[in-house]
Amino acid sequence: QKEVEQDPGPLSVPEGAIVSLNCTYSNSAFQYFMWYRQYSRKGPELLMYTYSSGNKEDGRFTAQVDKSSKYISLFIRDSQPSDSATYLCAMSANDYKLSFGAGTTVTVRA
């Protein structure tokens, strides 16, 4: 079993919809949680960083961490075609070693 599980999708939504992404994990030592966005043929870029449990909001993006359930989520409100990308969850126990999920491919239809 992989340490980080993420449904690869693909996920297709109409413009303006809420995109909901999630990951589960098995390593209880993880305490740093991240979401990256990767456009085709590009390197990933950090979207959200959360330490421990709780919610974090940044514009149209909201990240949630539930350590008791070992479950993290990313919500994208008012989705735009420019949000079409692969979204990867990532986690770390020490803020140095990083474990990624497989990534979910999202398409926002205009």
Q: Which of residues 79-98 bind other proteins (CB under 8 A)?
A: 88, 90, 92, 95-98
Judged by CB under 8 A, the residue of 49, 56, 66, 70 near other proteins is 49
Residue 110 in contact with other proteins, rule: CB under 8 A: no
Nearest approach, Cβ of 41 to other proteins (angstroms)? 8
Q: State which residue, 78 or 95, has the beta carbon closest to other proteins.
A: 95
Beta bridge partners of 109: 14
